Amino acid sequence: MAELHERIGRISPSPFCKRDIMNTDTTPSQTEQAQQAARQDGTPLLRLSNLSVTFQTDDGPLPAVRDVSFNMPHGHITCLVGESGCGKSLTAKAILRLTPDNARLDGNVILDGQDILRLPQRDMRNIRGRRVGMIFQEPMTSLNPVLKIGEQVAEPLRLHLAMNRTEARNEAISLLTEVGIPSPESRYDDYPHQLSGGMRQRVMIAMALSCRPELLLADEPTTALDATIQGQILRLILARSQERGMAVLLITHDLGVAAQMAHAVGVMYAGRLAEYAPAHELFAHPLHPYAQGLLHAAPSARSRGLDRLPTIPGSVPSLRSMPAGCPFHPRCPQAMPLCHEKMPPFFDLGGQHKVACWLHGTPA
Ligand SMILES: Nc1ncnc2c1ncn2[C@@H]1O[C@H](COP(=O)(O)OP(=O)(O)OP(=O)(O)O)[C@@H](O)[C@H]1O
Ligand code: SF4
Ligand SMILES: [Mg+2]
């Protein structure tokens, strides 16, 4: 474990830090301060309860996300981490009911007391974009190729915040500036294909933040960006969260980013939460063997050569060949006979630390 602590201490330094935010020019307005004060009562803004996504296929149901439960208080940043294909994006899309048509959603997604999964379609318009902003993993799929990028940022401002054309244009230019688009006045009239991939991603971030959402779902928001812009974007998200009490679900492969941004971290494996804990606890004492393996495998600034980087042997099982019992057992160095037979429930260890592993609980 000492070696693990040393490795976590060495997780690649991201080019930003929570305290850097103190240097940004983001003085909250009196209204925003009042909103923030009103949100200090600890009531979660969003509660996910047994959220499941199941694809209905010709071969039968394929569960892709299973029984994901956690709370997101106002102003908190929750990170979801895990290998490719473990269900991070589907979890975020399910919150906004943006999953494919053949996906069935079960469980509850309670936003401020309202279950999003049971709202009529017409009420979703006020949720999507207005109350909940989403930065998609694939920027091109959510930008309209035949609409100028400035208009795409300004449109939600007119629609949801009733700004007139000039106000919306000015606000859009200010948002484009905040996300680091150079010469935003002239770029306003560009079409998406005239922008680089990183710029398109930044336009989408501006769109997601435009209506001052209460909740931001950010799916790998900075993957296409260089280190300097990445720091700028993450600082912006952190500032919005701190000033306005915006809750953030941040999906990232970068454990350095998670370590510095998150209040809480959920580690996903094969569509389930393997472990969920306050960030400092997860990085100091990961309990699930998969979480331990993930942290061991994190590249560090001092890694010397790829051959020295530890990996988790094997790969994430496909939805069609999910093993019985604990889905991690074929790769787990600590698997026991029970693990091959029974799926471990989510054991609550207290202090918001939960883990789905038979090493930390016994069958009922
Ligand atoms: N439209 C779909 N039809 C069938 N299966 C799907 C569909 N979309 C996603 N899946 C499957 O659901 C699982 C979870 O996908 P998801 O996109 O949530 O993974 P992820 O954790 O976001 O991965 P990554 O880190 O690569 O983005 C994967 O096995 C994926 O193949
Ligand atoms: S339940 Fe068993 S196989 Fe699964 S992570 Fe825990 S020890 Fe490993
Ligand atoms: Mg994804």
Domain architecture of the chain: domains with CATH: 2-131+213-317 (3.40.50.300), 141-210 (no CATH)
Most confident of 106-110, 234-238, 302-306, 348-352: 106-110
Give 211's Cβ-side CA count (13 Å radius).
24
Distance CA 143, CA 214 (A): 22
Ligand 3 centre from 251 Cα, in Å? 8
Contact between 290 and 274 under an 8 Å Cβ cutoff? The reply is yes
C-alpha dist (Å) from residue 85 to 82, 91, 270, 288, 316: 8, 11, 7, 19, 7
Least confident range from 32-46, 162-176, 270-284: namely 32-46
Percent of the chain at pLDDT above 90? 72
Q: Which residue has the higher pLDDT, 240 or 79?
A: 79
Residue 48 CA to its chain's centroid (Å): 14
The mean pLDDT of 181-206, rounded to a whole number, is 93
The tokens of 179 are what?
């996300």
Residue identifier of the C-alpha nearest atom 1 of ligand 2: 357
Query: Is 39's pLDDT higher than 70?
Result: no
Contact between 279 and 263 under an 8 Å Cβ cutoff? The reply is yes
Distance CA 37, CA 178 (A): 25
The tokens of 57 are what?
């296929």
Q: What is the pLDDT of residue 220?
A: 94
Parallel/antiparallel/unpaired status of strands 264-269 and 215-219:
unpaired
Give 22's Cβ-side CA count (13 Å radius).
4
Tell me the torsion sign for CA atoms 101, 131, 351, 256. Answer: positive
Contact between 133 and 237 under an 8 Å Cβ cutoff? The reply is no
The ligand minimizing its distance to the Cα of 83 is: 1
Distance CA 145, CA 138 (A): 14
Best mutation site among 267, 326, 362 for ligand 2, i.e. most ligand atoms within 8 A of its Cβ? 326
In this structure, what are the phi and psi dihedrals at residue 178, rounded to the nearest 5 degrees? -60, -35
Contact between 80 and 261 under an 8 Å Cβ cutoff? The reply is no
In this structure, what are the phi and psi dihedrals at residue 336, rounded to the nearest 5 degrees? -120, 170
Look at residues 79, 78, 66, 71 and name the one whose alpha carbon lies nearest to residue 107. 66
Query: Is 127's pLDDT higher than 80?
Result: yes
Q: What is the pLDDT of residue 167?
A: 97
Ligand 1 centre from 304 Cα, in Å? 32
The closest-lying atom of ligand 1 relative to the alpha carbon of residue 253 is 25
The tokens of 228 are what?
């300097």
- Report the Cα–Cα distance between both ends of the chain, in Å, rounded: 29
Q: Which helix (H) or strand (E) holds 83?
A: none
Query: Is 10's pLDDT higher than 60?
Result: no
Look at residues 293, 273, 270, 306 and name the one whose alpha carbon lies nearest to residue 79. 273
Distance CA 219, CA 359 (A): 31
Residue 188 CA to its chain's centroid (Å): 28
The ligand minimizing its distance to the Cα of 360 is: 2
Ligand 3 centre from 181 Cα, in Å? 25
The closest-lying atom of ligand 2 relative to the alpha carbon of residue 288 is 5
Q: pLDDT tens for residues 224-239?
A: 788 888 898 999 999 9
Ligand 3 centre from 17 Cα, in Å? 24
Query: Is 346's pLDDT higher than 70?
Result: yes
Distance CA 241, CA 36 (A): 10
Percent of the chain at pLDDT above 70? 85
Least confident range from 24-28, 92-96, 157-161: namely 24-28
* Pocket lining: 137 vs ligand 1, CB cutoff 6 Å: yes
Number of Cβ atoms within 10 Å of the Cβ of 224: 17
Strands in 215-219's sheet, in edge-to-edge order, are 132-135, 215-219, 247-251, 77-81, 264-269, 272-278, 354-355, 347-348
Distance CA 129, CA 215 (A): 10
Nearest 10 degrees: Cα torsion 282, 285, 287, 288: 50
The angle formed by the CA atoms of residues 278, 356 and 44, to the nearest 5 degrees, is 40
Q: pLDDT tens for residues 184-195?
A: 999 999 999 999
Percentage helix, strand, coil, to 5, in the chain? 40, 20, 40
The angle formed by the CA atoms of residues 330, 82 and 51, to the nearest 5 degrees, is 95
DSSP 259-274: HHH-SEEEEEETTEEE
The mean pLDDT of 203-232, rounded to a whole number, is 91
The ligand minimizing its distance to the Cα of 318 is: 1
The closest-lying atom of ligand 2 relative to the alpha carbon of residue 360 is 6
Distance CA 134, CA 201 (A): 12
